[in-house]
């Protein structure tokens, strides 16, 4: 076999591995897009559930996620199988994801309001559990596949691009099936919502199978530990002692909260501000909601490329310093948008808003695979599942909080399924939406901007940490210079002498 052929085979194998890994994030991306943009409207207008009850259904589900995700994370770490710790659970999740996602959009003929509330709460809890069985091990998978700081950027970048593609595809599928322009129209599309549940359920479940088939994780041989409640709390208490983890955790939580708060308000904001307005482009008539969602999505995806370039030229968290000011600029335009505002100005605000939100989930997703390395530096343990479970917990709780706040705000300002029309909305209703759409992103974005300025892990410090961990595994002890010790203390928030890396004669862990 020629050298050129070998290189081509190696490249194809690498491309298959990266692509199959990235494909799995359809579950984390497309699901979030559809549920965030449309599910609150579906419950309120198609299922005739009041906004507070709809918000409670979604909020309780996210709190449930907050309980089960950490447990699943620890379970993943303690799982030993021929498929690895993560891939086994990804495989188990596939069929439950498909079934329970369909349940979200079909009520099996239940007519009573209390019955619908109970049913959709159960459906949400079941889907939440099924998706967590897939997403938590998926979040833990990358650091078990790839070690390099910059190489992980490539994998995370591809998964985010695929997430963007899934976002757009799911939006187009929704638009192709659901043509509601006014809140009352949603009642006419019961069958179409069920069809969408089947189509999107398959679209989110099948990629997990591809990830299972195409990924390969390193088998980590560690001393067996029994799974216990005390052990779970101990693992998370240790992880939270890392200063870098706390920063990443807070960035992830804020990014999730901003993204959910703004997105759940966007569709209803357009409905009430511009009613059933259609826009004609090159002779094609498009609904305004469809156009707004796709403008936002296009600019969000478009900014992935410059964000990747910034990560490779500077560091992984640098896009926050560029994107967040753009987000704030877009929110200021939307804050002053009224029914009299020209659509061109509104579209500019949406475009800036989309570009600014590009970093909210992308950057934390790229930062997270490095956290288990810091955990190992501090405690000599690889806990990818626990790290992923805790970060996922934060995202779920904050997104649930966003839904709850939205439901409470709408209820207090008297917007419900009976008066949600342009003929009956009030300035207070629009103000409530703008709190979620504009005020929260402005305030949260400012906090994220300042946190990111103190995030002090880059490719050089990461390479140093990885090299020293490998040396410690081999020799039992390592030495650091004074400046390197100061750096480790800044990153971990722990005195150097208390770190695992500073101690001697520790039992080694073999990584095959």
pLDDT by residue (tens digit) across 231-287? 777 888 899 999 999 999 999 989 988 888 887 788 778 877 776 555 555 444 457
pLDDT of residue 507: 46
Look-up: residue for tokens 């626990």? 386
> CA-CA distance, 225 to 318, in Å (whole number)?
38
Domains of the chain: 11-201+231-457 (1.20.1250.20), 468-507 (no CATH)
Q: In this structure, what token pair is assigned to residue 176?
A: 């192709």
Q: Measure the CA angle with vertex 252, ends 247 and 253; round to 5°.
A: 100
The alpha carbon dihedral of 198, 259, 432, 179 has a sign of negative
- pLDDT value at residue 68: 86
Judged by average pLDDT, the poorest of 63-67, 132-136, 361-365, 506-510 is 506-510
Q: What's the CA gap between 346 and 334, in Å, rounded?
A: 7
Give the least confident one: 414-423, 439-448, 502-511: 414-423
pLDDT at 228: 67
For 473-512, how does the pLDDT look when each residue is reduced to its tens digit (9 = 90+)? 888 889 999 999 999 999 999 999 999 999 875 444 444 3
At 310, the pLDDT band (50, 70, 90 cuts) reads: very high
Helices (H), 215-342: 229-240, 243-274, 288-302, 304-313, 319-335
More confident residue, 449 or 398: 449
The tens digit of pLDDT for each residue in 86-143 reads 999 999 999 999 999 999 999 998 989 999 999 999 999 999 999 999 988 998 899 8
pTM as predicted = 0.77
pLDDT of residue 394: 79
What is the CA angle 230-234-236, rounded to 5? 120
Q: Per residue in 252-262, is it b (16+ CB within 10 Å) or e — as a string?
A: bbbbbbbbbbb
């Amino acid at each position: 076999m020629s050298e050129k052929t070998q290189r081509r085979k190696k490249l194809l194998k690498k491309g298959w591995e990266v692509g199959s890994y990235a494909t799995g994030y359809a579950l984390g991306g497309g699901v979030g897009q559809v549920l965030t943009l449309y599910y609150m409207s579906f419950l309120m207008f198609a299922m005739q559930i009041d906004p507070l009850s709809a918000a409670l259904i979604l909020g309780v589900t996210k709190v449930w996620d907050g309980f089960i995700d950490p447990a699943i994370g620890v379970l993943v770490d303690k799982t030993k199988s021929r498929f690895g710790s993560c891939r086994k659970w990804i495989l188990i999740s596939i069929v439950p994801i498909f079934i329970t996602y369909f349940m979200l959009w079909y009520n099996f003929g239940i007519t009573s309001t209390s019955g619908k509330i109970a049913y959709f709460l159960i459906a949400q809890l079941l889907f939440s559990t099924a998706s967590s069985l897939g997403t938590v091990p998926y979040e833990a998978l990358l650091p078990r596949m790839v070690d390099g700081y910059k190489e992980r950027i490539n994998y995370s970048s591809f998964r985010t691009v695929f997430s963007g593609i899934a976002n757009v595809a799911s939006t187009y599928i929704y638009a192709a099936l659901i043509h509601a322009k006014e809140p009352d129209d949603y009642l006419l599309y019961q069958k179409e919502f069920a069809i969408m549940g089947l189509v999107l359920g398959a679209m989110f479940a099948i990629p997990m199978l591809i990830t299972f088939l195409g990924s390969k994780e390193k088998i980590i041989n560690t001393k067996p530990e029994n799974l216990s409640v005390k052990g779970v709390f101990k693992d998370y208490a240790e992880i939270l002692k890392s200063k870098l983890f706390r920063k990443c955790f807070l960035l992830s939580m804020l990014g999730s909260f901003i993204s959910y708060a703004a997105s759940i308000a966007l569709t209803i904001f357009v409905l009430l501000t511009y009613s059933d307005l259609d826009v004609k482009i090159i002779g094609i008539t498009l609904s305004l909601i469809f156009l707004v969602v796709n403008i936002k999505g296009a600019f969000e995806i478009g900014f992935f490329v410059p964000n990747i370039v910034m990560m490779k030229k500077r560091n992984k968290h640098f896009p926050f310093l560029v994107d967040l000011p753009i987000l704030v600029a877009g929110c200021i335009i939307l804050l002053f948008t009224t029914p009299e505002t020209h659509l061109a100005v509104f579209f500019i605000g949406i475009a800036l808003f989309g570009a600014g939100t590009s970093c909210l989930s992308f950057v934390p997703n790229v930062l997270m695979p490095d956290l288990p390395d810091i955990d190992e530096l501090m405690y000599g343990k690889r806990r990818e599942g626990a790290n992923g479970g805790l970060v996922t917990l934060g995202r779920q709780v904050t997104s649930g909080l966003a839904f709850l706040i939205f439901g409470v705000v709408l209820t207090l300002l008297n917007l419900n399924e009976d008066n949600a029309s342009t003929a009956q909305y009030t300035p207070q209703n629009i103000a409530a939406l703008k709190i979620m759409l504009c005020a929260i992103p402005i305030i949260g974005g400012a906090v994220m901007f300042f946190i990111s300025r103190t995030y002090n892990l880059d490719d050089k410090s990461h390479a140093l940490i990885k090299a020293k961990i490998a040396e410690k595994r081999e020799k039992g002890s390592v030495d650091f210079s004074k400046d390197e010790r100061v750096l480790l203390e800044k990153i971990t928030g722990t005195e150097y002498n208390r770190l695992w890396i500073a101690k001697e004669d520790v039992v080694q862990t073999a990584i095959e």
